[in-house]
Amino acid sequence: MVKTFSFIAVFLLIIDGLRSQQNIIPRPDVLNTVATQFTLTEQTAIVANRAAMSEAQFLASWMFEATGKQFSVIDMASMPQENFILLSASKKSNEVTSESLKSLPDSVRSRVLKADRSKYKLNFSSKSIVINAEFDQGVFYGIQTLRQLFPVEAELQKLKLPYALPGLMIQDGAKFPHRGLLLDCCRHFMSVEFIKKYIDALAYYKMNILHWHLTEDQGWRIQIDKYPLLTEVGAWRIEKDGTKYGGFYTKNQIREIVAYASARHITVIPEIELPGHSSAAIAAYPSLSCTHAPIQVENDWGVFKDIYCAGDEYTFEFLESVLAEVCELFPSAYIHIGGDEAPKFRWEECEKCQKRIKKEHLKNEAELQTYFIERIATFLQSKGKSIIGWDEILEGGIPADAMIQSWRGMAGGEHAAKAGHDVVMSPTSHCYFDYGLSSIDMEKVYNFDPIPASLTKAESMHIRGGECNMWTEHAPQETVDSKVFPRILALAEVLWSYPEQRNYQEFSKRVEQHYPRLKALDIQSGFPKIPVAMVPTPRENTLMVELKPAFEPIFITYALAPPGTEPGDKLLPYINPIVIDRPTLLSAQATMTEMRYTEPMMWWFEPHQALNDSLKLSYEPSPYYTGGGSKALVDGRLGSTNFRDGAWQAARGEDMEAVIDLGAATEIQELETRWFMYGNAWIFLPKSVTYYVSDNGSDWKLVGKVESATDEKLPGEFFEPFLLKNIGMKARFVKMIAVNHGPCPDWHDAPGEPSWLFCDEIIVR
């Protein structure tokens, strides 16, 4: 009987261990269960050697919050015989600096500085828990794993003692040394308390980089003593409704945040944008621009033509002074200098910039930007810093020690790695968390592979990691949580454990166990994916629309309204598929226990004569804007005023031609296409849309031509129909040819850049 009981007890411990493994995020490299358990009591001591003493204090502080009990922290020389948690490290991470290694050759010093400091071992026995690592950083990560082995009551500060932990043996370490979050505090300002909350959350999931976006067109957020107008003027903008909006961080606040992050082994990398995205600085000091003309801090989103003048020495005097103060505040080895989306129009027209091109024997304005970046990089090197820049800085060559952050897909990072540059991957396809779940859901993030398949093993070593980017054009502070979480948990696992055999279903079950933990950390998590899938099925000239819950238990309600009107407050419970036989706005709401999907779920439909008919395109739709597939332009779904809603199909720099086969000769009274307009995003209406019909698909008859009458300078985001009425023709085939607007015009902030065409439907009535 005793043997049977022991066997059952051991079996239950193994099961508990397996459950713990399922709940740890990111997943440990090696985890084995052991047939023992450790019981935490009020008498448990925390033991540490010198290198791990700061981590011991951190653990003691957390355990006090978790239990309300004070735990003693003692040196290893006084280690008790049992009932203790031992933290041991060989050295402290901050002791390994470029200065301390200056006697080594450059190549050796570089390898030592980049060495992995994340590895740790965690072992249980009935008498102790031991976390051992070479560096204190590894000990800290072991503590985060230990925290996740406790129940959520510990994070809620309600853990009752004694508490028994299942026996485990863990060996763990990060695959990538750069695991980060970009937080844009320029478009929308965020409080110091909010940033600290994110530092805590990053540490909990073993992320180690906070990329802090501090300067932009819409606001300058960092105090600079030499240039007080940067915060007196540049930190504030007048919104379109006339209100004043902004804020900035004082130097003391920045030091406080940097120290708070450092205690949690998180490096804060500041981004000081240059030469573009600099409207706020120029608004404060107009002499920084090529024209010296006064401008306002921008209150709109986009790319703007006023950038730092590359021909004026005052610009470099200003930037070097600013960066000198930045370097004093941030101990990071890297300073991010942006380098993206810098229109060259002002430089082309600037006498000083043209003189600089001639003097430096440069070929063009692209090489002038390279000169600009290299000069800033040289200055930062004198301060012991290296630069990180967006992948645009690859154009024309960059300093040898520069790191590239690849955002325009993976190609920039791939090119940089092949050229021997270190790379941070954050492509829009997987890592832009300002994008909605219709573009990037948690499963897509989990399937992200930061290492391009074309790289050799040696080249792949230059992929240092990745970042998720939380841009905040449309995300004030109160909405950031639901956009970042839970998607960042997927990226945390990808960058830490780099699972080669990925099982998203298993991962998502672990995430479900973390929702209460996130709530305990004061994070209002969003959904992992759109909670309701809208599935339209064409049936002759109608649509059967099914609303499918993405997971259970979700309660779905909906309302129908004519387009152009607001859905009523009265929502109906969804039971059966909805029949749509006329232009209709369908809105839906999903709720789940303690979670409500905050993004509006609205779909616009118009069933018509060409619904789901055969369609041939002359162009390859952008992979980022397919509209939903090969029949996007005849699926009956219309787009909203958000061009990223998944209903718009786009092509860049070319005309769009489409041919519809109606299947039989059909009486046609009206033809309509709808086009998106958003000049700031380089999206313009077509110059013209011409419609043709044919009986055989070869011989075409002109129906009519609609030309754009809308001012190309018109601001805002909207769509416009190109409609032909009273046609009265019978035909089997319909052809639409839309003529691209052409390059962005001279008045635009990106003159000469190819423009986009966005269409959502070809409507045949």
What pLDDT is attached to residue 318?
98
What pLDDT is attached to residue 103?
57
What pLDDT is attached to residue 419?
92
What pLDDT is attached to residue 595?
66
Contacts of residue 263, Cβ cutoff 8 Å, sequence gap at least 6:
54, 58
What pLDDT is attached to residue 324?
98
What pLDDT is attached to residue 4?
44
CA–CA dist 414, 234 (Å, integer)? 36
For the chain, how big is the Rg over CA atoms in Å? Answer: 29
CA–CA dist 316, 352 (Å, integer)? 13
Domains and CATH numbers, the chain: 2-172 (3.30.379.10), 178-274+310-338+384-520 (3.20.20.80), 532-605 (2.60.40.10), 614-764 (2.60.120.1190)
What pLDDT is attached to residue 683?
96
Residue 593 CB burial class (10 angstroms; 0-12, 13-18, ≥19): exposed
- Of 714, 718, 759, the closest CA to residue 736 belongs to 759
CA–CA dist 60, 46 (Å, integer)? 7
Q: Look at the pTM and tell me if it is higher than 0.95.
A: no
- Of 237, 294, 242, 304, the closest CA to residue 273 belongs to 304
Residue 37 CB burial class (10 angstroms; 0-12, 13-18, ≥19): middle
**DSSP letter for each residue of 220-263:** E-B--TT-THHHHTTTEEE-TTS-EEE--B-HHHHHHHHHHHHT
CA–CA dist 404, 389 (Å, integer)? 5
CA–CA dist 190, 477 (Å, integer)? 6
What pLDDT is attached to residue 97?
54
Contacts of residue 378, Cβ cutoff 8 Å, sequence gap at least 6:
399
Task: Note the residue count of the chain.
Answer: 765
Mapping DSSP onto H, E and C, the string for 172-215 reads: ECCCCCEEEEEEECCCCCCCHHHHHHHHHHHHHCCCCEEEEECE
Task: Using DSSP bridges, classify how beta strands 463-470 and 532-539 pair: parallel, antiparallel or unpaired.
Answer: unpaired
Contacts of residue 252, Cβ cutoff 8 Å, sequence gap at least 6:
none
What pLDDT is attached to residue 72?
94
What pLDDT is attached to residue 99?
55
**DSSP letter for each residue of 644-694:** TSS--EEEESS-EEEEEEEEEEEEE--EEEEEEEBGGGTB---SEEEEEEE
Give CA separation, 592 vs 96, 508, 530, 575, in Å. Answer: 48, 16, 13, 17
Low-confidence ranges of the chain (pLDDT < 50): 1-18, 20-21, 101, 108-109, 112
- 698-721 residue pLDDT tens: 999 999 999 998 999 998 899 999
Strands in 656-668's sheet, in edge-to-edge order, are: 614-617, 656-668, 729-739, 688-694, 701-707
Task: Using DSSP bridges, classify how beta strands 45-48 and 84-91 pair: parallel, antiparallel or unpaired.
Answer: parallel
